Structure 1
Amino acid sequence: MAQRAMGYRRLGQDGPQVSAICLGTMTFGQQNDEAESHAQLDRAFERGINFIDTAEMYPVPTRAETSGATERIVGSWLARQPREKVVLATKAAGPARSLGWIRGGPLALDRDNLRAAVEACLKRLRTDYIDLYQLHWPERNQPMFGQWQYEPEKERDCTPIRTQLEALAELVAEGKVRHVGLSNEHPWGVMEFVRLAREHGLPRVVSTQNAYSLLNRVYEYGLAETCHREQVGLLAYSPLAFGLLSGKYLKDTGASGRITLFEGFGQRYSKPNVAPAVQAYAELAAAHGLTPTQLALAFTYRRWCVASTIIGATSLAQLDQNLDAWDVDVTPELAAAIDAIHLRYTNPAP
């Protein structure tokens, strides 16, 4: 199979031009040391990737001892690159998760917290600016990370979205941040960020980073229309569903990966219909002469609603497999078969 040239897409109305595949880094500093991480970054850029995604709380599973290590590793690599050729994305942790070692909470996505987060990120990343600065998850009450119901009784005080945008606007004006984005958002949140930016002359979000895979197509239900009409790009994360869609756990439930290495990790993938759905997609892949990995990644790479797919790996061999899937086409016949399985096992891991 001939190697297809990497594609590039613009995020939002005026965001950066990014490769259709983004290298995720959440294993750096936990499952991969600095040398291994740099090798992955080098390989990705050799293959046409210009887009890196990280976060202040990485690596995962997050803990005080390693917090910030991923950004430091990316920073030591970035220091020897032509900065203008790299589109660097990172994320600010918000409240609602137990991360007491990050800014004492973190307590809010307010002006003081966002400024402190950006300043620390810039120092770890050894750069003067961040191309895409994302809010890792909403501060407000909403279901996320495997939760599937909105529960109004859990409402709490939170920083107004306009206040969050105003804080980000200061950082953009100072040149520390070039573009802003969201992560783990829902349609209401995207619309509020877009509306308030338009009404008050504040930075317009160019992207939202949400889980999207054969096992989780919830994005298509409300966010796909919202983001298409408002020109907000989807950065699809977990396209292999923590490795489940590679098929490696089908015959070996103890196969090495985050699911087996870290107890209680990836709870959204422990739901009842996940295993039969993975089996069905693996059988479909085999029937079309593909590996399960090729099928799962080709699906996200070719979906009209995906601006860039975030991949992650723990070895160069694994990274190469993920990158090689860029060459796979999804025929109308294959797309119809994928949809048939989706209708049988609809979003087993929301």
Structure 2
Amino acid sequence: MTTTPSPAPAPAAAPGTTPSPTPTRLPRRLIGTSGIEASVLSLGSWHTYDRMDFADAVDMVAFAVEHGITLFDVGVYGFRGMQPPVFTDVLFSAIVRAARIPREDYLLSEKLWLEGFGDDGFRPQLEHALFRVGSEYADLVILGDLRRDDVDLRDLVVDLAALADAGLIRAWGVNNWSAANIRRLSDIAAAEGVAGPQIAQLKYSVARRSIPDGEPFARLFADGLTMQASDVMEGGILAGNVTPGREVGREVGRDPGSIRERIVADVPAFAAVADELGTTPAQLAVAFTLTHPATTTTLFGASRLEQVQQNLDAVALVERVGAAELRARVEPFWADKGVVDPEGP
């Protein structure tokens, strides 16, 4: 995987934003073999901007782009006939306009749900999502969890290739699929002569690592697939909030391997390691995910500009301490080791 500095100039700051005089510029990494480069940090969650004052959200997004964050996950979590969606994606559309951020200055990641895949494929769902977010295309789409057994994987691959041909998407990936099913998608795409999955959004943290660090995914990564690390804070627990009071994502309630009690018990020791390294638990949690050689980007949610700044500092932590040393220091907190099947769900 190549890493290059972000060359694009920063957009004008939004009204009310006080830009840093010497902004930190994030490195970028390739999304699979697509040729698309994304910042090593990406911003978004099920509830992001709907938990903030609008002016604060504008300031935060402007600050993020100014400092090199290029990838924003603003997928519709729900669709017509499934559930009433939240409106963080609609708000994002207004935020980027208020911040005067040109569409070409950021990458848009959308979710596509297999529950909504029907006779017309993904196109109606995608067009609805793009309408809500005010864009003509998505740079990346991520297929939601594979919960259906009546879907032909070839139909998915062919449909996504048609969306790419129509200029509606540039690349696609999957969320928490098994290594075997991702391999099937790649094999089908190769046989059809079209682009296959480029990235896998996987739960990855100092506690949950068995799947991304396992042999089945290592083979996929060797073939060019890359990873978007998600759920890196375990719903805020690794940052020190051992009793999170809100749902931070569709899957936050899941506990593969039933290890959450162990994670909570490890928080004091994890915080002590962070203190020894001169950082915070949240920054250490983010920095760890960037040490995986297949990580393109780490996805995080934020509702304050300060949280974005702290995660920017996590990138510097990797450079200061070194990837090998960071991985060694957090090895004792690998809670799902030998518990969760590395093949994935």
Distance 1:134 1:326, change over 3 A: same
Q: Does 1:236 align with 2:229?
A: yes
Which segment drifts farther, 317-326 or 157-166?
317-326
Aligned pairs for 1:212-291 within 5 A:
212-217=204-209, 218-249=211-242, 253=243, 257-258=245-246, 266-268=253-255, 271-291=260-280
- 2:282 maps to 293
Distance 1:124 1:211, change over 3 A: same
Distance 2:333 2:141 in 1: 36
Q: Does 1:44 align with 2:64?
A: yes
Distance 1:123 1:68, change over 3 A: farther
- 1:103 maps to none
Q: Does 1:128 align with 2:148?
A: no
Distance 2:94 2:304 in 1: 19
Distance 2:52 2:340 in 1: 27
Distance 1:30 1:223 in 2: 38
Q: Cα deviations across residues 250-294 of structure 1 (Å, max 9, x unaligned)?
A: xxx4xx6536x99x9624287331212323311221222221112
Report the 3-state secondary structure (helix = DSSP H, G, I; strand = E; otherwise coil) of the residue aligned with 1:283.
Answer: helix
- 1:100 maps to none
Q: Aligned-residue CA RMSD in angstroms?
A: 2.8
- 1:91 maps to 111
Q: Which letter maps to 1:210? A: L
How many percent identity over aligned positions?
A: 26
- 1:169 maps to 161
Report the 3-state secondary structure (helix = DSSP H, G, I; strand = E; otherwise coil) of the residue aligned with 1:258.
Answer: coil
Distance 1:277 1:310, change over 3 A: same
**How far off its partner does 1:328 sit?**
0.5
* Counterpart contact for 2:202–2:230, Cα < 8 Å: yes
Distance 1:349 1:281 in 2: 21
Q: Which letter maps to 1:328? A: L
Q: Cα deviations across residues 122-159 of structure 1 (Å, max 9, x unaligned)?
A: 1111111110011121244xxxxxxxxxxxxxxxx421
Distance 1:90 1:323 in 2: 23
Q: Which letter maps to 1:258? A: R
Q: Does 1:307 align with 2:315?
A: no
Distance 2:253 2:193 in 1: 39
**How far off its partner does 1:348 sit?**
7.9
- 2:16 maps to none
Distance 1:43 1:349, change over 3 A: farther
Q: Which letter maps to 1:239? A: V
> Residue 346 of structure 1: which of 334, 337, 341 is its match?
337
Which segment drifts farther, 268-277 or 181-190?
268-277
* TM norm structure 2: 0.80
Q: Does 1:73 align with 2:59?
A: no
**How far off its partner does 1:3 sit?**
7.5
Report the 3-state secondary structure (helix = DSSP H, G, I; strand = E; otherwise coil) of the residue aligned with 1:56.
Answer: coil
Distance 1:3 1:33, change over 3 A: closer
**How far off its partner does 1:317 sit?**
1.8
Q: Which runs of 5+ in 2 are unaligned?
A: 1-21
Q: Which runs of 5+ in 1 are unaligned?
A: 96-105, 141-156
- 1:145 maps to none
Distance 1:348 1:138 in 2: 22
Report the 3-state secondary structure (helix = DSSP H, G, I; strand = E; otherwise coil) of the residue aligned with 2:261.
Answer: coil
Report the 3-state secondary structure (helix = DSSP H, G, I; strand = E; otherwise coil) of the residue aligned with 2:267.
Answer: helix
* Counterpart contact for 1:78–1:125, Cα < 8 Å: no
Distance 2:160 2:95 in 1: 26
Report the 3-state secondary structure (helix = DSSP H, G, I; strand = E; otherwise coil) of the residue aligned with 1:204.
Answer: coil
* TM norm structure 1: 0.79
Distance 2:169 2:252 in 1: 32
Report the 3-state secondary structure (helix = DSSP H, G, I; strand = E; otherwise coil) of the residue aligned with 1:225.
Answer: helix
* Counterpart contact for 1:27–1:314, Cα < 8 Å: no
- 1:98 maps to none
- 2:18 maps to none
Distance 1:316 1:225, change over 3 A: same
**How far off its partner does 1:236 sit?**
0.5
* Counterpart contact for 2:47–2:86, Cα < 8 Å: no
* Counterpart contact for 2:288–2:326, Cα < 8 Å: no
* Counterpart contact for 2:31–2:198, Cα < 8 Å: yes
Distance 1:138 1:15, change over 3 A: farther
Distance 2:259 2:245 in 1: 15
Q: Cα deviations across residues 166-204 of structure 1 (Å, max 9, x unaligned)?
A: 111111111111111111111011101110000111222
* Counterpart contact for 1:12–1:233, Cα < 8 Å: yes
